[in-house]
Structure 1
Amino acid sequence: MARRYDSSTTTFSPEGRLHQVEYAIEAINNAGTCVGILAKDGVVMASEKRVTSGLLAPSKSSEKTYKLCQHAACNVAGLTADANILIDQARLRAGRYEYQYSEDIPIEQLVEHVCNYKQAYTQYGGLRPFGVAFLFAGYDQHHGFQLYQSDPSGNYSGWKATVIGANNQSGKSLLKNEYGATPEEKDDEMKVEGAEEETSMPDVNKALQLAVKVLNKTMDATASSPEKMELFVMSLKDGDVVHKILNTEETKKVIDEVEAESSAAGDS
């Protein structure tokens, strides 16, 4: 039945589905994993770096994390070429807003603009959906640090912690159990439903460790290494938003802390 309705982005199936959009979402589910975690003093984003060939020259800039403006950044899962178009749109919108109003654009308005652009590609004939999903991290003076997720359909939603890309369901289940939980709560299997609503946010260091745990669970590699993951932190310093991609030594330190915690838990 689907074969009769999947040739056009604009044609609904009898079940009310747009198959081309679902195919784009499925393509993202095979992309490298990206993790976003909201901390009380910043936002952490971690992504899997897939090395397709040892002959490739190392990139001079990140292929997963992009700065949109001084107070916003994003992580990409899916087709990088598609992402570049949308990233340019976001940067253009942020620049025009600042020029027009002499202040930073609210994060949700920036996300909504990009998602409206993506949604148009599911509504007009002769176009295909963008094969990319985003995690948006940002800060504004009214709502503080924020984390949003968007997919090819143009939907977006705010999150405390989420995962996109390969094995995202197993990553989300880990986040659901460990985000904001104390060691006593992790051991308690009789947690009542809805308890996650009262979770306390971790600090940036704890969020980095949790992000590495998620990547360790979702990546195919048996052992984690700094070459296989990229860690990004957005934080405040003297009132200014700071973007930082951890270098190899800093990433290795976080990985070692996670392994030490795991071994200690195993010994106990």
Structure 2
Amino acid sequence: MSRRYDSRTTIFSPEGRLYQVEYAMEAIGNAGSAIGILAKDGVVLIGEKKVTSKLLQTSTSAEKMYKIDDHVACAVAGIMSDANILINTARVQAQRYTFMYQEPMPVEQLVQSLCDTKQGYTQFGGLRPFGVSFLFAGWDKNHGFQLYMSDPSGNYGGWKAAAVGANNQAAQSILKQDYKDDASREEVVELALKVLSKTMDSTSLTSEKLELAEVFLTPSGSVQYHVHSPESLTKLLVKHGVTQPAAETS
């Protein structure tokens, strides 16, 4: 029965569903997971890297984490070619706002603007939804640190902790149990590593299989976006007991 309704983005099924949007969400469910957690002094984003080839020049390329503006970054789960278009759109919108008003664009306004674009692709014929979900982390003077999640339908919401991609339901269950409102950034990093190690498909978590980024304020009051290097990730994994330190060879 559904085959009559799922070939067009703009046609509702008799149950009131848009199958193309649901198919886009299924595509995200098969992608590497991404987790965002809000701390009292920052926001932590962590993602599972699916591309782990030794031939890939990882020092200059990112798979999961992207900077949108000086005060906003995002983690991605889904089809990366779709994500690149939306990230560039968000960067242009942020710069236009800064040029016009001489101040950074509020985080929620930027997220809402991008979600309006995503929603349009579920409404007009000849288009398909973007097969990507985002976790936006940022800071502005109005609401401080914020974490938002958006999906292919154009919906978005503010979260204290959220997970998208593969095994997101299992990750959300762990976050519900272990998340604390007054957690520091260091405690949130430990929680993020714990959740990813328990929900990712690989048996062991190493620095080559994940990306970790933080958004926080420097002592001078400016917003800092920091992506951890593989060496830093290895130290964090050992520190928090996620992996064992490498044995020294004599």
Task: Kindly state the Cα deviation for residue 173 of structure 1 after the two structures are TM-superposed.
Answer: 0.3
Q: Which amino acid aligns with 1:20?
A: Q
Distance 1:115 1:168 in 2: 21
Name the % identity.
56
1:229 partnered with 2:210: yes
Q: Secondary structure at the match of 1:137?
A: strand
Aligned counterparts, 1:249-264, within 5 A: 249-259=231-241
Alpha-carbon spacing, 1:167–1:260, altered in 2? closer, same or farther (3 Å)? closer
Aligned counterparts, 1:155-234, within 5 A: 155-180=155-180, 200-234=181-215
Which residue matches 2:247?
A: none
User: Alpha-carbon deviations, 1:52-89, whole Å to 9, x = none?
Assistant: 64444435121211111111011110111101111111
Q: Secondary structure at the match of 1:134?
A: strand
Distance 2:77 2:88 in 1: 16
Moved more, 245-254 or 50-59: 50-59
* Unaligned segments of structure 1, at least 5 residues: 181-199, 263-268
Distance 2:212 2:65 in 1: 9
Aligned counterparts, 1:124-143, within 5 A: 124-143=124-143
Task: Kindly state the Cα deviation for residue 222 of structure 1 after the two structures are TM-superposed.
Answer: 1.1
Q: Give yes or no for contact 2:45–2:214 (8 Å, CA) kept in 1.
A: yes
* Unaligned segments of structure 2, at least 5 residues: 245-250
Distance 1:65 1:139 in 2: 16
Q: Give yes or no for contact 1:47–1:75 (8 Å, CA) kept in 2.
A: yes
Q: Secondary structure at the match of 2:68?
A: strand
User: Alpha-carbon deviations, 1:214-265, whole Å to 9, x = none?
Assistant: 1111111111111111110111001100011111222112212332799xxx
Distance 2:100 2:147 in 1: 25
User: Alpha-carbon deviations, 1:73-117, whole Å to 9, x = none?
Assistant: 111101111011111111111111111111111100000000000
Q: Which amino acid aligns with 1:97?
A: Y
Q: Secondary structure at the match of 2:237?
A: helix
User: Alpha-carbon deviations, 1:9-44, whole Å to 9, x = none?
Assistant: 000000000000000001001100000000011000
Distance 2:42 2:61 in 1: 22
Distance 2:185 2:2 in 1: 45
Q: Give yes or no for contact 1:38–1:201 (8 Å, CA) kept in 2.
A: no
Alpha-carbon spacing, 1:246–1:58, altered in 2? closer, same or farther (3 Å)? closer
In the superposition, the TM-score normalised over structure 1's length comes to 0.88
Q: Give yes or no for contact 2:148–2:159 (8 Å, CA) kept in 1.
A: yes
Q: Secondary structure at the match of 2:123?
A: coil
Distance 1:219 1:100 in 2: 43
Instruction: Identify, as 1 or 2, the structure richer in helix.
Output: 1
Q: Give yes or no for contact 2:135–2:149 (8 Å, CA) kept in 1.
A: yes
Distance 2:100 2:4 in 1: 47
Q: Which amino acid aligns with 2:85?
A: I
In the superposition, the TM-score normalised over structure 2's length comes to 0.94
Alpha-carbon spacing, 1:260–1:65, altered in 2? closer, same or farther (3 Å)? closer
